[in-house]
Structure 1
Amino acid sequence: MMLQTLDLAPARDELRRLFGFPDFRGKQAEVVARVLNGESTLAVMPTGAGKSLTYQLPATMLDGTCVVISPLIALMHDQLRAARANGIRAATLTSADADWRETMDAFRAGELDLLYVAPERASQPAFRDLLGSAKLALFAVDEAHCVSEWGHDFRPDYRQLRPLMDAFAHVPRLALTATADAHTRTDILTQLGIPADGLIVAGFDRPNIRYAIRPRDSLPRQLERLCQEQPGPGIVYAPTRRKVEQLAEQLGKATGRPVLPYHAGLAPEVRAANQAAFVSSEDMVMVATIAFGMGIDKPDVRFVAHAGTPKSIEAYYQETGRAGRDGDPAVALMLWGAGDFAQARARVSEVEESRQQGERQRLDALAGLVETAGCRRAVLLRHFGEDPPENCGNCDNCLDPAETIDVTQLAQKLLSAVYRTGQSFGFGHLQKVLTGVADERVQAKGHDQLSVFGIVEGEEAALLQPVARALQVRGLLTQTEHGGLQLAGNVREILSGEASIGITRPPQRKKGRSRRNDSTPNPTGDPLFDALRALRRDLAVEAGVPPYVVFHDAVLRAMAADRPANLSEMSQIPGVGAKKLEAYGAAFLKAIAAN
C-alpha cells in the first residue's frame, strides 16, 4: 500500500476518541500515516507540536506493542501518566519500577499498547530475548539527537539501539527530536538505519514563545520582575550549584512564591521531591542547573530564564522549549554577562584540538544571537536551516526595535587603555582611567599620567560597559587568570580602523512596577475558569497526578466559554477524549452548572 493512498479517516476517529482532538496538527498526519504504513521515519518537530501523539495513537491501532526508548525515568513516568489518563494501555520497565514482573507478563500476553524503556536496556541480551517473546508494532526513539556525536547531548547508550532494532528488521522505526541541525539529522538517519526519504521536518518555530535577551545588571531584581510579570510556573537556569541555592533563596523571599532548587549536589530524595512538587504546582519557580528539564513533560511552564549564557544555540533552543508546551503564551529570557563569553572561550581552548573549531563556531553563533539588533527568532530559525521573515512580532527586538550605533572610536579608546595599562586590570579600573577618576590605585600605578586618562566623558562614559561587553562577546577582549582584561583576536583591525564596532543602544531603565502578563491562564478574569481550575486541582490530588494530566488550561478556558450542559456537548470540546469524559465529565458539568 502506497503512503499517499492510506486512508487516515480511522486514525482521525481514534484521535477524536482518545485525545478529543478534531484533527491532526502540522506534520502529525504525515508522520502517523508513515507509521501506520510501516515506514521508518525521522520526525523533527518543535517541542509542543505533539511528537508523542505520533506513536501513541498508532500504538492503539497496530497489532502488537510499541516499544518507546526514552532517556530519563522521570520523563517516562510523566508520559505514562498522560497515556493512561487517555485510556492507552501503557507501562514502564525501569530500575525504579517494582511491578516489572507484571509488566513483562502483560507485554508477553499482548496486553500493552506502549512499553517505555531506557536506552541502557538495549544492550542487554535478556531484553532482546524479552522482545522476541511478543509481537512488536513499532520502535519509537525519543530525543533521537542523543544518538549523534554532532548533537549537543550525545549519549553513547543510544548507539546500542541500531543493533537491537536490526535484530527485528521487520519492525518500523520512528525517531523523534526537537533539536537537530542538518548535519545532526543526517547522522541520526545513519545511526538508526532510517532511509533518507524518511525525514520529515516540521520546522523549529515556537511562535507562542516571546524571546528576550538582556545584559545582566541586577540579576535578582531582573528575575523578580519576571516573576511578577509571569504568575505561572517557571524555570530559572543558573550556571552553578551555589548560584542555584542563592537565587532560590533570594527569589523565594522577594516574590513570596514557592521557589525550590534543583542540582546534582542535592540528595536524590530531595531532588525527586522538588521535581514532583514542581510538576504538580501551578505557580512554582524551579531554580536549577541544566540537569533539570529533559525529564519534565510539564505543558504549563510560563517562562524559562537563563541567569547566564547557555552552551550553544542548540542548548538554548531545547532549554527555552520547555516553556509553553501547551501552546499558550510564554517567555524565554536570557540575562548574559561579558564574563560568560570570556569563560566559554577559555573552556574551548581546553577541549580536544579536533573539537575546538566546532565549539568556537557554536559560541560565535550564540554571540550572534545575543548581539543582533534584528529579530531573535529569525537568527534562531536560520541557524536550523529555515528561511524566516525578517520580523516575528514576538521578540524583544521586534516589539521594541533597538537603535544601532557606531562605537568604533570608543572601542579604540578602551582597547588603547587596556594596552597602555599593561593588559592586567579589570573593567572597573579601566573605566576610572578613561573617565578621569584619579583614585588612590590609579595614582599609585601612574595611570593618571597616561594619554588615555580622562579621554571619555558625557554620553560616551555611559556606553563604556556595553562596548566592553561587545568586545568580549566577539573575542577581542578576554579575561586573564586574575580577572583582568587583555587584547585578543583581530583587535588590530579595530585599532587601525579597518573594521568597525556597532552595538544596540542600551534601553532606558523604566520606572515603576512591571506590568503583569495577563495573557494566561485566565485572560478575561472569568470566575468560572477559576472554579474549574480549583476542581481540577482537587481531582488531581485525588488521582495522584499533576493537574495538567486531568485537563490543560486551554480545555478549561473552552469549558468556561462554551458552558456545555451535558456530556454530549462536553465531548465536543477539544482535549476531552472518551476516557476523560467518563472519568471527569460529570464533575465538571456540575461545577459549570453551579457557576
Structure 2
Amino acid sequence: MQATLENLKHYFGYDSFRLTQQEAIQNLLNKKDALVIMPTGGGKSLCFQLPALQFSGLTLVISPLIALMKDQVDGLKANGISAEFFNSSQNFETQQEILEKISRKEIKLLYTAPESLSGLQDVLKSNYISCVAVDEAHCISSWGHDFRPSYKQLGFLKKSMPDVPIIALTATADKATRVDILNQLSIPKAKVFISSFNRENIFLNVKMANKRLQQIEKFLDRRPDEAGIVYCLSRKSTEKLAQDLEALGYQAEAYHAGLDHETRSEIQENFIYDKTQIVCATVAFGMGIDKSNVRWVIHYNMPKNIESYYQEIGRAGRDGLASQALMFHSYADVIQYRNFIDNSGNQEVQYAKLDRMKQFAEAKSCRRKILLAYFGEYLEEDCGHCDICLNPPQFMDGKINAQKTISAVARVQQNEPIGVIIDILRGAKNQKILDRNYDQLKTYGAGKDVAWRDWQHYVLEMINQGVLDIAFHDGNKLKLNSLSKKVLFEDYQVSLTKPIDPKVEKREMITKSRKKKTLFESLRQLRMQISKEEDLPPYLIFNDASLKEMETQKPKDLSEFMTISGVTQRKAERFAEEFLNIINQHTKTRKKSKGSTYLKTFRLYEQGLSLDEICKNRGLKDTTIISHLAKLYADGKNVNLLKFVTKKEIDQVSNVLNDIKYEGALKPIHEALDGEIQYGKIRLALAYLKV
C-alpha cells in the first residue's frame, strides 16, 4: 500500500484516499473480485487505475461509450501513464499496433467497448491480462436504469480467465441491480464496497415548470462564466432551448442521438475544452465525462427515476466545489413517462421508480434525506443545502380552496383538465370558457383573488394528497373520489402549503462574480492558454479545486506547489513555473510586474547571453524565457529571433500552417512536423511569422 500511496501522489497528485478507495484497491491487489458503488466524482476510476500501475500485465477497462475513451486515455497519458483505447473508430493498422504493444507489455490500461472484445480475442488470456474493470456496470442489468444488451456477453470473461480479478464499478445501483450485476459477471461472491451517496457540495433545487426559459435565464445570470448541462426529454427541446439561450447571448449547443457522430464529437470536445459553456442534451450526454468544472446541471424535464437523476446531477461539481442541481417538474412529464412505460417491458418496476421520482419532486421535507434513503442511506439531520431546507414550506388551512376546486370539477361533470378548472375559478374570459358557457357556473370567478400560478400549486397538492384524481388516459381530466366527497360534505381537513413568492424567495448561497480580476481568474486564463498550446482539456492540466487551493495557499516555490492537491510530479515539472509566476504577481511581491520580468530577460539578451545563460541567470526554464522573447518581439523590441530558431525551421512551420487549421494549439504543428522541431522553436517561429 505504501507503493500505491506514492503512485497516488506521483501520478494523480493526491496525498490520501477518499471514501472506500483504499479498501477496494487493496482487495484488487490481492487478486479478488469486487463491486464498487461510489458516487459520481467520488474517484471510482482510481480503484482500478492505481492497481494497474502495480500489476505486471494489462488492465482491461470495459466502457459503454467509445466517444469518451479518447478523453479518458488522454487524461492518463497527461499524468505519464501508458494507456490506449481499442474500438471501431480506429483503422486496422492502429489496432494491430495496439495488439503488438500489448504483447510487448508496453500498455498498462486499455479501454474498450463490449462490442470490440472480439478484436481482442488473441490477448484475452491471463498471461496478458492482470485485471478486468467493468465501468458503468449497471448497464449489464435489466434492473438498472441504463440497460445495454451488449453488456450481457461479459460473463464469459470470468469463465475464460478465472484467476483474473474483475472489478465492477457504478455510481447508481439499488439492491436488486447489485445482485444482478454480480450474477451476470459470474462473480457472485465478490466483495461489495458501498460509499456514501451524499454529494454535499451539490445544492438540490426543484421548481414547477412555469416559464422555464425565464427561470433558466435568471439562474444563468448569476453564473455568467460557469459551465453546465441542461437535460431535456426530447431532441426537439434540446435544439429549441439551445437556440433560445444563444439568442440570450450564451454559448449553447444541442446534443442528441439524431446528430451524426462527427458533430456529436465536436460538441463534446468544445464543451470539454471550455469553448462551449452550455450543452442542452438528451440523457446520453455526460456518461463517463471527467470534466471536473461542470458547475451546474439543469433538468428541463423531470427524470424517469431517481437513479437517472442522481447520476446526471453527479456530473456537476466533480472537483468538490459548490455546484447546483436545478430540476423542473410538471404533470406533462409524468404523463409522457407513463406512455413510455405502457409500451415497454418491466412495467411494474418502472412505475414504482417513477412514483418515487414524483415523490421526490413533490417533497415538502429535506430532499437529500429522500434521495439518500432511496439508496439505503439515512441522514439524521436535515441537510441544510436544498431548496426545502433553505425555504421551509409554510402550511395553511386549505379546506375552502379544496371545496371550491372540487365544486368546479363536479359542475363540469369531471370533464376538464387542471388548466380549464383554474380558468373557471379565476373567472377567465377565454374562448373555451365562453364557448362552453362555463362563465354561467356558480363557481365561476370564485377564486379570482388567487393567482393562476398559486391555484396550480394548490390543485397539484390536492392531487398529491389524494383529494382529487387525474385521469392520465382520459385527456388528463380531473376526477372526484371518495375523499373529494368527504372534503365537500364532511368536516375533512385539508392542509396545503403556501406558494413561495419568487420575489422574496431566499437565494441559494451564490458568490456573484466580481468585476475585480481575482487570482483564480488569472490562473484560469493561464490554464486556458496552456490548454490551447498543449491541445489538452483545461481540467486535465489542473481542475478548479486545485486552482482554488493555489489561490488560497499561494505557494511560493516548487516544494510548496507540490503540496497542492492534484499537482503531480509530471505536472509540476511542466507547469509549476508559469503558475508560480502568476501567483507571485498577486502577492505582496506584486511590484515584480509582468512587464519587469520581460524587461529583465530583454536586458540579459542585449548583453549577448545565450538562451541557456539567460535561463541560468533568471533561474527560469527555457519555455518561460522563450515565451518572454516571443512577447518582446511581438511588442516591437529589437530581438533577433533567428539567434534561437533557424530560417529553415521557420519555413517548415510556415508550410505546415498552410496545411492545417491553426487555432492556437502547438501540438498539431509539432505532430505535423513528426516531432522534429521542439515546442519552444515552434512558438518562436510563430512569433517571427506574426501568427
The two structures have a TM-score, normalised by structure 1, of 0.91
Distance 1:392 1:555 in 2: 26
Q: Secondary structure of the residue that 1:50 maps to in structure 2?
A: coil
Tell me, yes or no, if the aligned pair for 1:437 and 1:454 is still in contact at 8 Å: yes
Q: Within 1, Cα distance between the matches of 2:459 and 2:288?
A: 38
1:224 lines up with 2:214 in the alignment? no
Structure 2 counterpart of 1:243, which letter?
Answer: S
1:582 aligns with 2:555: no
State how far apart, in whole Å, the 2-side matches of 1:65 and 1:276 are.
Answer: 28
Cα contact 2:228–2:279 (8 A) shared by 1 = yes
1:566 aligned partner: 557
> Is the CA contact 1:109–1:134 (under 8 Å) kept in the aligned structure 2?
no
User: How many angstroms does 1:451 deviate by?
Assistant: 4.3
**Aligned residue number for residue 478 of structure 1:** 470
What is the match of residue 521 of structure 2? 530
Looking at structure 2, the residues matched to 17 and 462 of structure 1 have their Cα atoms a distance apart, in angstroms, of 56
Superposition deviation, residue 265 in structure 1: 2.1
Equivalent residue number for residue 108 of structure 1: 103
Cross-structure match for 2:530: 539
One-letter code of the match for 2:470? T
Structure 1 counterpart of 2:245? 251
Q: Which amino acid aligns with 2:104?
A: A
Residues 442-478 of structure 1: CA distance to partner in whole angstroms, max 9, x if unpaired?
Answer: 3542434444434435348764211333355678543
- Counterpart of 1:445 in structure 2 is 436
Unaligned 5+ segments in structure 1 are 1-7
Task: Give the alignment partner of residue 493 of structure 1, picking from 480, 483, 488.
Answer: 483
Residue 340 (str. 1) matches residue 333 (str. 2): yes
Equivalent positions of 1:409-448 (< 5 A) are 409-437=400-428, 441-448=432-439
Distance in 2 of aligned mates of 1:148 and 1:474: 34
**d(CA) in 1 for partners of 2:328, 2:420:** 24
Aligned residue number for residue 262 of structure 2: 269
- Secondary structure of 2:8's partner? helix
Q: Cα gap change, 1:437/1:21 in structure 2, threshold over 3 Å: closer, same or farther?
A: closer
Where do 5+ consecutive residues of structure 2 fail to align?
587-691
| More divergent stretch after superposition (339-348 vs 212-221) | 339-348
8 Å contact from structure 2 (residues 206, 387) kept in 1:
yes
What is the CA–CA distance in structure 2 between the aligned matches of 1:171 and 1:89, rounded to whole Å? 20
Give the Cα separation in 1 of the matches to 2:8 and 2:266.
34
Q: CA 1:440 to 1:549, structure 2 compared with 1: closer, same or farther past 3 Å? A: closer
Give the 3 Å change call, closer, same or farther, for CA 301–474 of structure 1 in structure 2: farther
Partner of 1:266, secondary structure, is coil
- Provide closer, same or farther for how the CA distance between residues 179 and 503 of structure 1 changes in structure 2, counting only shifts above 3 A: farther
- Between the two proteins, the alignment pairs up a number of residues equal to 579
Maintained 8 Å contact 2:228/2:297:
yes
Contact 2:398 2:494 in 1 (8 A): yes
Deviations 1:122-166 (A, max 9, x none): 4x2x42322238521111010001111111011111111111232
Distance 2:417 2:104 in 1: 69
CA distance in 1, matches of 2:455, 2:494: 13
Where in structure 2 are the equivalents of 1:116-515 lying within 5 Å?
A: 116-122=111-117, 124=118, 126-132=119-125, 134-196=127-189, 198-230=191-223, 231-254=225-248, 256-281=249-274, 284-352=277-345, 355-437=346-428, 441-459=432-450, 463-471=454-462, 476-478=468-470, 483=475, 485-487=477-479, 491-497=481-487, 502-510=495-503
Residue equivalent to 1:95: 88
**Per-residue deviation, 1:518:** 2.0
1:567 Cα deviation after fit: 2.5
CA distance in 1, matches of 2:535, 2:453: 55
Q: Distance in 2 between the 1:292 and 1:18 partners?
A: 28
Q: Do the aligned partners of 2:83 and 2:109 also contact (CA within 8 Å) in 1?
A: yes
User: How far is 1:43 from its partner?
Assistant: 0.6
Between the aligned partners of 1:534 and 1:418, the Cα distance in structure 2 is 60
SS of aligned partner of 1:150: coil
More displaced 10-residue stretch of structure 1: 49-58 or 479-488: 479-488
Residue 586 (structure 1) shift: 2.8
Once residues 212 and 568 of structure 1 are traced to their aligned partners in structure 2, the CA distance between those partners, rounded to angstroms, is 42
- State the Cα deviation string for residues 366-405 of structure 1 (Å, max 9, x = none): 1110111111110000011111124101101111212134
Q: Distance in 2 between matches of 1:53 and 1:205?
A: 19
For residues 545 and 516 of structure 2, the distance between their equivalents in structure 1, rounded to whole angstroms, comes to 14
- In 2, the alpha carbon distance for the partners of 1:512 and 1:15 equals 44
- Whether the 8 Å contact between 1:208 and 1:330 is mirrored in structure 2 is yes
Question: CA-atom RMSD, angstroms?
Answer: 2.7
- Amino acid in structure 1 at the alignment position of 2:81: I
User: CA, structure 1 residues 155+448, in 2 after alignment: closer, same or farther (shift >3 Å)?
Assistant: same
The structure having more radius of gyration, on CA atoms, is 2
Give aligned-pair identity as a percent: 38
Whether the 8 Å CA contact 2:418–2:478 is kept in 1: the answer is no
Residue 3 of structure 1 corresponds to which residue in structure 2?
A: none
Distance (whole Å) between structure 2 residues aligned to residue 246 and residue 548 of structure 1: 29
Matched, 1:36 2:26: no
Q: Higher relative CO (CA 8 A, sep ≥ 6), structure 1 or 2?
A: 1
Q: CA deviation at 1:258?
A: 1.0
Distance 1:105 1:474 in 2: 65
**Aligned CA distance change for structure 1 residues 404 and 193 (closer, same or farther; 3 Å):** farther
The answer as to whether partners of 1:211 and 1:394 remain within 8 angstroms in 2 is yes
Q: Bigger CA drift: 204-213 or 190-199?
A: 190-199
1:189 is displaced (CA, Å) by 1.7
User: How far did residue 238 of structure 1 move?
Assistant: 1.6
Deviation at 1:496, TM superposition (A): 2.6
Query: How many angstroms apart in 1 are the aligned matches of 2:514 and 2:131?
Result: 42
Distance 1:585 1:441 in 2: 69
The answer on whether the counterparts of 1:480 and 1:486 sit within 8 Å (CA) in structure 2 is: no
Letter in 2 for 1:337: S
**Could you tell which deviates more after superposition, 299-308 or 132-141?**
132-141
The residue aligned with 1:9 is: 2
> How far did residue 29 of structure 1 move?
0.7
CA distance in 2, matches of 1:516, 1:273: 34
Q: Give 2:108's aligned amino acid.
A: D
Per-residue deviation, 1:314:
1.0
Tell me: CA distance 1:251–1:167, structure 2 relative to 1, closer, same or farther (3 Å): same
Deviation of the 1:178 alpha carbon = 0.3
* Deviation (angstroms), 1:584: 1.8
C-alpha distance in structure 1 between counterparts of 2:515 and 2:17, whole Å: 28
Q: Aligned in 2, Cα 1:259/1:443: closer, same or farther, shift over 3 Å?
A: closer
2:95 maps to amino acid: W
Shift of 1:284: 0.2
CA contact (8 A) 2:270 2:276 kept: no
Q: Do 1:12 and 1:22's aligned partners in 2 also have CA atoms closer than 8 Å?
A: yes
Q: Secondary structure at the match of 2:220?
A: helix
TM-superposed CA distance for 1:204, in Å, is 0.8
